[in-house]
Every structure is written in C-alpha cells, then in structure tokens.
Amino acid sequence: MPSIAPLLLSGLNPEQLSAVTLPSQHALILAGAGSGKTRVLTTRIAWLISTNQAGPHSILAVTFTNKAAKEMLTRLSAMLPINTRGMWIGTFHGLCNRLLRAHYREAGLPQLFQILDQADQLSAIKRLLKSLNVDDEKFPPRELQHFINAQKEQGHRASAVEAWDGFSRQRVELYDAYERQCQREGVVDFAELLLRSHELLERHEILRRHYQERFRHILVDEFQDTNKLQYRWLKLLAGGGASMFAVGDDDQSIYGFRGAEVGNMRDLEREFQVAKVIRLEQNYRSHGNILDAANAIIKHNATRLGKNLWTEAGSGEPIRVFESLSDLDEARWIVEEIKALARDGHARAEVALLYRSNAQSRVLEHALFNAGLPYRVYGGLRFFERQEIKHALAYLRLIANPDDDTAFARVVNFPTRGIGNRTLEQLADAAKAQGGSLHAAIAQLNGKAHTSLSAFAQLIVRMREGSAGLPLPEVVDHVLELAGLLEHYRNEKEGQDRLANLDELINAAASFVAEEGSREPLEVGAEEQGELASFLAHAALEAGEHQAGDSDDAVQLMTVHSAKGLEFNVVFVSGLEEGLFPHENAVLEVPSGAQEKGLEEERRLMYVAVTRARQRLYLSFAQTRMLHGQTRYNLPSRFFDEIPAALLKWLTPKFKASTVAEPHSDYAFSRADSASGSLRSARQEDSSGFRIGQNVMHGKFGLGVIINAEGSGPDSRVQVNFSHAGMKWLALSVAKLTPA
C-alpha cells in the first residue's frame, strides 16, 4: 500500500510528521491538550502498515476507554483497506481478557470464567464476610474492596502483603479468602484481569516469547494514566525488542487517587533509553490567551517533562474573572451570563460549568432550575438524585410522615441494622392484610422481626422528637447524625464526596429557609404544611424538573476530572478559592513530602480545566461559601497569582474582599454561636480594628483572611485562613497583623 502513505501524511505539522514517521525505536510523544494526539497515534499505525513495516497483527495498541479504542478502529478503517476486527486494539482490561480467554488453562481459569464489575465484586465481598461471620462494621465491604484492588494494582497477592498488627493480618486473611472464593466460583474482577495476565506472561516463558515476537510495535495512549502494574505488563511485552511508542501528557496526570503514576513517563524515558522525545505543542483547540494562562499555571510544577502550548488561532478574548459576595451570587451571575451568551447565538450545549467538588453542583443546579435553563450533569447524577441524598431525604420524609412506605423501604436497613428480606416480606404481608402502611404493621409481628423493626420505628420517633423546635438546617444535621449516615460514609475509603454532598444538603436547607423568608421554629408535628414538608417538595421538584434529554440544547455541568478529554466553546470554572481549588486535602494536613505532590496534582487539574475552553474562559470565586450550614470566608485561589495579569479581565474590582457578604441566613451564625460563644460578638469590629472577613498580612505566613475571633482586650485572638500556611489561631497582642 505504498501509494496510500503520502495521503496519510498530508496536513500534519512538522512535529506530528516526525512522530508518525519515526523509524522503529522507542519513543515518547509529549502531546499537549488539543495537539492532535489521537490523530498522531492512529496515523502512526496506518503508516507502519501502509509502508510494510508492520502487519496488522504485529501491532498492539492500548487505550484507556472503549470509546477511544472504537474511535481508533473507525479511523483506521477509513484510512486503510484492511479488516481491523482481528487487531489487538483496546483497553488494558479488554486486551487482558482476550489474552486470558486464549490461555485460560495456563492462567488457571475455567474456559467460561465470568468478569465481576465493581458492583458484583462488592456483592461478592459482602457475601464472603457474611459466610465468615465477620463484622462488617470493623471491615466495611467497600473499604475492603479498595484494599484488595489496590494490592492487586501493586502486583501483590495476599501472600506477599505485609501485615504488622492483628487488624492488618485479618484484612490480609480476608483478601486470601476472597481470592479462594473467586477461584472456586470461576470469576475474576477488573484488577484480577491485569494481575493474572501479568503473572501468565511472567511465569510462562514460551507464551511470553510468543507475544514478544508477535507484537513488534506497542503503542500506548494516555501513558500518564498508567499504574505500576500496567507499566510492568507493557515492559514484559516489549522485552523481546518491540518498539514502544508512548503518547501522553504529564501535565494532564490527574488520577493519582486511582493509582496512576505520572512518574512512569520518566521511568520509560530512562529504562527504555528513549532517544527521541517529541513535543506536540501546537494546539488546535484554544485561543492564545487561554493557552498562555495554562502554560503560566503549569510551569509552577517542578516535576514535569516540559512543553509550551501555542496556537496560530490568535490571542482571542481575555479571560474573564468574576468575584462574588457568596456562592449563591456566583451561581446567579453564571446563569445571567449563560442567558447573555444564548442571546448572542452561543448554543447552551457548548457551555460547560466546571467545579472541583461534586457537592458544588447543588447551588449551580438550583440557579439553573430557577431560571428555567435545561442542564445535564455529565458523568454523574444530579444533586437530588445521588444515593446519599436520597437516603437522607427518606429519613426526613419519615419524620414528616412515618407512613411513607417508599421512604420506609429505602432506609429501614440502611445503614445495615440486621433487618433481612424475610423480615421485610413478613412486614409487607402484614401491611397488606391490615390494609395499612409498613410502619403501622410492625405491631402485628412477633419475635425477632418485631424487635428489630420496633427499634427502627423508635429511631424515627427519636429523630422526630429531637427535631422539634429546631431550625430546618439543624433538623437535617440532627437526622444525618442520628441515622448513622455520616458514620457510614466516614468508614468508606472514598466516602468524602458523599459526606460533602450531605454537608451540601444542610446548605440547601439553609438556602431554602433564606429564600422562603421563613425563620419560625419548625413544628414537625403540625398538620399544616411546615418548612420540612415545603423543603421536601422543593427537593422532589428540583429532582424531577428540567432533566435535559440527550438531544436537548442543555448546559453541561461536570467536575474537572470528568471534563478531561472534552472541549467546549465556553467554559466556566467556579469556586476558585483556597481550600476548594486547590483542595485543602491536597495542600494541608498531609504527610511530610506529600504536600508538594498534592499541590502539583491540583495544578495539573487546573491546567486541564483551563484547556477545555476553545474561545471563552470564565474564572469565578466567592468571598463566602456555605459549608455545613455555616458561612466560610475565603481567599482567592493561588492560581490567580500564577496567571499573568495582562491575560485577565476583571469584571469586578480586583480582590475587594474587605466587603463582607451577608450570610445566607441567621442559621449560618447560630451554630457557631452555640459552639464557641464568640462569633456573634466577633461579627462586630473589635478594639484592634480587625473584623471577620478582613484581609490581613502577617510577616511569616503572608496574606490571609480573618474567619473567626474570640476573647477581648489582651486575651483577644483571631483565626486566620492564610493562602499558603492554612488555618492559624493568632493572639492579637503578639501577632503583628496589618490590614492588607
């Protein structure tokens, strides 16, 4: 097919051409955002085949998503007159499955082994714990699942895992029992696919040599997202002299929490003695100002291979920055701006709202709902449709109406309290015979079933009684704690997002009260419609309205993590405050040496957020934001300092944070008043002239904002959230604070 080859190369820029036409050697292609890496990877395969340097069956191409693999195969079919069906192009999991199917005997698996997805794996672990009579409170199934998968991704069988105390020893024993259960049942989980494939190639020399000789060209997409075991698997396959062609962007490595090792790119360069590192720096997506901002942010990371994005598309519009008084004001402004964009002819589907944390979507969804703008949450559920929120609302519905069977059935055994399906069947039969609700039918049961269900009914009574007279946000807080939801999610390894969403539900209640203008104590027992009933109706309406269909022109909402690989004409990045973006978990209270690593990943995340925008980019932050029903005062994100001022167009006066926003409601201070007894007085300016919300400067800690105060006279002290040093309590008589 030599005649096809020149056509394949038309339209490539010099760097892309160099990458595509490299001789057979190890190569690392640093492909910046929007630089055409998929085109380079696909064209490279087509070039090797069309120039007779490789046959279709001597190529192994690895992607991270099935979508990317299908796209690559579709493009290849359009480029070359070949049948791509037999080619080894797919995800790590897909290719490993193919390998194990072909060599199931050698791998020690039955021919028709089944694959467990995440939900199936969790069910298998729960079944194991039950069969062994293991306390699932001491060993939460989801946490054990994460432990097992993490060990497998490190290449460790149970026999190789170090145990240093009784707890860790028992956890390793459970891992071993789980392995034996899977082997007995002929099933494998996702992590097992890769681990067993690696072991198969490592232990069977004949098989290893066969595949090493077969695959002469190994091409890997998104190399920065590979974990340790994936890298070791690739090294095994390439050990027979194959050429490794790795495409990736270390500046877009944002999945460290999933085990991705950005250091694999440096290891590849060193271990494979890569002579050719090609940088794809020309961007075909974004205007110059956007790229200049992204370059300026990411250059603050020390551990990077280095590249600088540029474009021929011109500078474009400046990056617009908006400072709001509160998160509600921020959301309202974003909505008004989207309306203006629509009037100017921008499609809503080409507008994306990005945020660092899932919980931030609630305020944005609420503002879009009130404005009647259709929206779609990409890669996740709308706020009121999330599992933990539905659980919390079910408990709230039960204290408002214990005869709500739907709510009763949802949470009667969540968190688990030993109420099995047989007990619930008996209860349903009794309710049917009586013609009443599940709650009312409890009295008809006897024995253990009556005891366990009565305990649940008493829990609802305690919630109801304990909520009487409390403001709505405190009702929500009280119910979350008493129901055990907070404790349940605290025990989950990755339960932080769910806890953040539950915190946001308290904020939603506080905002609802403020918007409705009602401050009367809640009378849960009143027959008339109260705040709780109104709030539950509001939640139901927001969950069910404005759900945009796939074909609707709808605004796109998503976390920055979900946005990777996507692009939009207009992008809003909201919540750019210290502690939120960059997230406090990444920059505060971390083990020694990990702080900088965490901050660098946050910066890569910001780089990804910025480079999603083609034409117009908005950055926004709020002086105050609700957190657990309280007003939190914020500093602007350090990322603003890292972007050259000439690239920014401030829609509001820069950093006017001395103007303190009004809280969402009186409740925002009532909780803090009762907790410290100081915040009410601290709202007033003290004798030193400082006040909450004021920006201050400290000789050692730098710029910060006062968020709390207590004491008086020589005993007065303030809590300051410093931009780089975090939270500090300082005695005003000693600390030399000056207004900033």
Query: β-strands 27-31, 243-248: how paired?
Result: parallel
Q: Please answer whether residues 386 and 501 qualify as being in contact, where contact means their C-beta atoms are separated by less than 8 angstroms.
A: yes
Torsion sign across C-alpha atoms 48, 38, 276, 155: negative
Write the burial class of residue 40 (CB in 10 Å: 0-12 exposed, 13-18 middle, 19+ buried): buried
The full length of the chain comes to 740
What distance in Å separates the CA atoms of residue 682 and residue 705, rounded to the nearest whole number?
Answer: 14
Could you tell me which residues are beta bridge partners of residue 61? 89, 219
Would you say 578 and 637 are in contact if contact means Cβ atoms under 8 Å apart?
yes
In degrees, to the nearest 5, what angle opens at C-alpha 423 toward C-alphas 422 and 424?
Answer: 90
- Residues forming a β-bridge with 619: 321, 573
CB 570 within 8 A of CB 556: no
Active site residue 327: no
Instruction: Find the radius of gyration of the CA atoms of the chain.
Output: 29
The answer to whether 616 and 570 are in contact (CB under 8 A) is: yes
Question: Where are the alpha helices (H) located in 57-189, listed in sequence order?
Answer: 66-79, 92-102, 104-107, 118-131, 141-153, 166-185
Which listed residue (38, 53, 154, 181) is catalytic? Answer: 38
Annotated catalytic, 222? Answer: yes
Instruction: Clarify whether 550 is annotated catalytic.
Output: no
Active-site entry in 15, 16, 37, 602:
37
Tokens linked to 550? 């796939």
CB atoms within 10 A of CB 545: 10
Catalytic residue, from 121, 252, 611, 631: name it.
Answer: 252
Phi, psi of 696 (to 5 degrees): -135, 160
Q: Which of 244, 227, 319 is nearest to 24 (CA)?
A: 244
Catalytic residue among 382, 612, 632, 638: 612
Contact 208, 236 (CB under 8 A): yes
Phi-psi region of 89 (alpha: psi -120 to 50; beta: other; left: phi over 0): beta
Dist. CA 412–CA 460, nearest whole Å: 10
Active-site annotation holder among 153, 192, 221, 600: 221
Q: Which of 222, 330, 531, 601 is catalytic?
A: 222
CA gap 267, 265 in Å, rounded: 5
Structural tokens at position 564 = 């990777």
Q: Which helix (H) or strand (E) holds 90?
A: strand 88-91
Helices (H) and strands (E) in the chain, counts: 31, 21
Catalytic residue status for 221: yes
Cα separation of 612 and 528, whole Å?
A: 50
Identify whether the C-beta of residue 184 lies closer than 8 Å to the C-beta of residue 108: no
Helix residue ranges per DSSP H, 132-277: 141-153, 166-185, 190-203, 205-214, 228-238, 264-271
DSSP 342-357: HHTT--GGGEEEEESS
What's 609-650 look like in SS3? HHCCEEEEEEEEEEEEEEECCEEEECCECCHHHHCCHHHEEE
How far apart CA 506 and CA 711 sit, in angstroms, is 29
Annotated catalytic residues are 37-38, 221-222, 252, 612
